Structure 1
Amino acid sequence: MKDAQPSRSGTTRPARIATARGPGGAIRAQFSGFAARLPGLALAVGVALVATALGRLVPVVGAPVSAIVLGVLVALAVRPGERMRPGIAFAGRGVLQAAVVVLGAQLSLGRVLRVGAASLPVMIVTLAVCLAAAYGIGRRLGVVGDLRTLIGVGTGICGASAIAAVTPVIGAAEAEVAYAVSTIFVFNVAAVLAFPALGHLLGMGQHAFGLFAGTAVNDMSSVVAAATTYGGPAADYAVVVKLARTLLIIPVCLGLAALVRRRARTADGHAGAAGSGRGLTSRVRVGRLVPWFLLGFLILAAANTAGLVPSDSHGPLSVLAVFLITVALSAIGLSTEPSRLRRTGPAPLLLGGCLWLVVSATSLAVQFLATQYL
């Protein structure tokens, strides 16, 4: 028998262990992993379906916010057990990443770049001011770490979509995601109610208000609601500005990925070794700084721009992206511990309000300066 054979170190090892763990074993392991995830994933999908129905009844609230609220309520009423956790964890991370990829199908890079070139000064300045304010005001209010980052990028870029993209990059906790999404939602509703009246008060034209809504309102549904109230041309322009603004997710995620990686290397005691002449950047593989879902986002956007994505599939893909985000936020709600939210206190909500005012004022100020001096 050849049950065992000597290794190079002189010890024995099974000779046919690789055969026993061949393709059949790998398939069984994958099936077992899927089966373990199924109950929790099914629960998240069920909550998402109910949230989608509620979102259609109350469009200002939307399905994603309804999902996270329903998830928290279900978690309070019937705390999901250990059997549900693998699927809920997968929905909160894997489904969230898939949603970001599908979002790319909404982008026509050519049109976005044309409109984005005109609106780029407003977008860049508002984002830079928002992130700086998130850091400074957040520290003053005692909001630190991942929660401050999530509220900052959610306010400065595109609400729940930006939070969805950044969450797996920085490894934010479910409670922080829940609080950030809820904060963004409050000021989305405020924007829908207040911005059209403000635009008329300031005598803004359709394109000017579209640029304002596209850069100062967060989630797409709220952008459409606010701009449509103002007028059809404003809504058309605001949507494209908002899509161009979505592209800012890419450099922000890359920067955060590099920062997280550098902190991890420092914590592991490897930072000092970079001084030997090779340098830190020579050791960092660019591929590791680019999350796979951002690559998928860009590939799908490029395919759409090249006409490889049929135009009649844009609507269904947009619906799919929103539903995937809804499933993910349902899972985040299901795994949230309300006690952690209570311990966080009102400071994050106050931070979100401050950032909302800062972004709105900055967008208006940059537009005014541009019309006066450019």
Structure 2
Amino acid sequence: MIVLADAPSRRRTPVRATGLGAAVLLGLAATVAGTLVPVVGAPVFAVVAGVLLSPLTRRRSAAMAPGLNLAKGPVLQLSVVFLGAQLSLGQVLSVGAGSLPVMLGTLAVCLLLAWSVGRRLGVPRDLRTLIGVGTGICGASAIAATTPAIRAKSNDVAYAISTIFLFNVAAVLVFPPLGHALGLSAHEFGLFAGTAVNDTSSVVAAAGVYGPDAAGYAVVVKLVRTLMIIPVVLVLTTLTRRGADLPETSKARLAASLVPWFLVAFLAVAALNTAGLIPATAQAALHQAALLFIAVALAGVGLSTDVAALRRTGARPLLLGLILWAAVSATSLGLQFLLAR
């Protein structure tokens, strides 16, 4: 009896290790590549490499799926928790009252256009949601937090990450000369970059050209934008679960389950950092762990991607990404101009 009971568990462990091990190896390689080319970043390397290798993994989908699901689930959620170590709740106040209207305005415009324009373009709901939160909040981190909330498919996540990356690179190239042409101060450009560029590495790359003052302020704005993940994910989780066909016993527990555990843990870690209970060395370690876990998770997403379905999606989501990027950029500059009058 003991042998019969242990045999399935012995079989499950190697099966899970197969997919998870592949995602970890690819995530480690992507992390190294992201360090060498920070403008691209580990998440993009991970998801693109995973997509390129996905035809090989689909041949062994039964063996790979359990481990890849671990990468796309718990590993992805833990990456969001670790991001909290970079946030001090006091930073929300330090950015000044003037920056919050710009952040909230760009987010509102982006999400509204993602819903309305994406619908008109025929972009699937989950994909337009991911592109919207990725553009409006903080790129790969927002997509990572939103994916479990709406139970997005790997194909949609891969496309959204790739779309966000393209316009991040465009921002790094276009924004500094645009800022000089408009005569923006270091503070104004920092707010512009912090609200209109997504991933931190791209924010630093764009604002760093303007000088250390612009870069420092842009990073603070970018970190505060990360807090917008919380209300957005809560709303999306509520809508997703209410729309599900749940039995009555599950509906009775819906209110208690609307807050994802990883968001609670994210806030707890941020609160610990605010209280000064996370040393600087631990902050750095948790930040690196978050980047690695995101890379591993997105490698799992890439390896799970159906390339044929990705091709069938076409260029409409890319057009949506372009519209949202242009709208967020224009809104950031426009609100700054109006508030300065």
Query: TM-score if structure 2 supplies the norm length?
Result: 0.93
- How far 1:93 moved relative to its partner? 1.5
Q: State yes or no: 1:304 paired with 2:246.
A: no
Distance 1:102 1:330 in 2: 18
CA contact (8 A) 1:101 1:297 kept: yes
SS for the counterpart of 2:95 is helix
- How far 1:56 moved relative to its partner? 2.2
- How far 1:76 moved relative to its partner? 3.0
Which residue, out of 31, 34, 37, partners 1:58? 37
Distance 1:151 1:318 in 2: 24
Q: 1:312-365: CA deviations, max 9, x gaps?
A: 222221111111000000010001010010110000000000000000000000
Query: Residue in 2 aligned with 1:354?
Result: 323
Query: Residue in 2 aligned with 1:242?
Result: 222
- How far 1:111 moved relative to its partner? 2.0
CA contact (8 A) 2:176 2:207 kept: yes
- How far 1:262 moved relative to its partner? 1.8
CA contact (8 A) 2:51 2:307 kept: yes
Which residue, out of 252, 272, 295, partners 1:326? 295
Query: Residue in 2 aligned with 1:99?
Result: 79
Which residue, out of 11, 18, 26, partners 1:47? 26
CA contact (8 A) 1:80 1:334 kept: no
- How far 1:258 moved relative to its partner? 1.1
Query: Residue in 1 aligned with 2:104?
Result: 124
CA contact (8 A) 2:57 2:64 kept: no
Query: Residue in 2 aligned with 1:140?
Result: 120
Percent identity between matched residues is: 60
Which residue, out of 54, 65, 69, partners 1:75? 54
- Select between 190-199 and 311-320 the one with higher mean Cα deviation: 311-320
Letter in 2 for 1:237: Y
Q: State yes or no: 1:88 paired with 2:68.
A: yes
The equivalences for 1:1-374 within 5 A come to 33-77=12-56, 79=58, 81=60, 82-115=62-95, 117-264=97-244, 267=245, 285-372=254-341
Distance 1:30 1:146 in 2: 35
CA contact (8 A) 1:113 1:244 kept: no
Q: 1:182-209: CA deviations, max 9, x gaps?
A: 0000000000100011111111111111
Count of residues paired in the alignment: 336
- How far 1:58 moved relative to its partner? 1.7
Distance 1:229 1:137 in 2: 33
CA contact (8 A) 1:116 1:241 kept: no
Task: State which structure, 1 or 2, has the greater radius of gyration over its C-alpha atoms.
Answer: 1
Q: 1:3-39: CA deviations, max 9, x gaps?
A: xxxxxxxxxxxxxxxxx99xxx8x9987765443112
- Select between 348-357 and 137-146 the one with higher mean Cα deviation: 137-146
SS for the counterpart of 2:123 is coil
- How far 1:114 moved relative to its partner? 2.4
- Select between 253-262 and 284-293 the one with higher mean Cα deviation: 284-293
Distance 2:14 2:192 in 1: 47
Q: 1:136-171: CA deviations, max 9, x gaps?
A: 111111113100100011101001000000000000
Distance 1:44 1:112 in 2: 35
CA contact (8 A) 2:33 2:41 kept: yes
1:312–1:263 distance in 2 versus 1, CA, 3 Å: same
Query: TM-score if structure 1 supplies the norm length?
Result: 0.85
1:303–1:80 distance in 2 versus 1, CA, 3 Å: farther
Instruction: Flag the structure with more relative contact order, 1 or 2, with Cα contacts below 8 A and sequence separation at least 6.
Output: 2
- How far 1:53 moved relative to its partner? 2.0
Gaps of 5+ in 2: none
Gaps of 5+ in 1: 1-19, 271-279
SS for the counterpart of 1:308 is coil
Aligned Cα root-mean-square deviation (Å): 2.0
Letter in 1 for 2:142: A
1:38–1:117 distance in 2 versus 1, CA, 3 Å: farther
1:292–1:29 distance in 2 versus 1, CA, 3 Å: farther
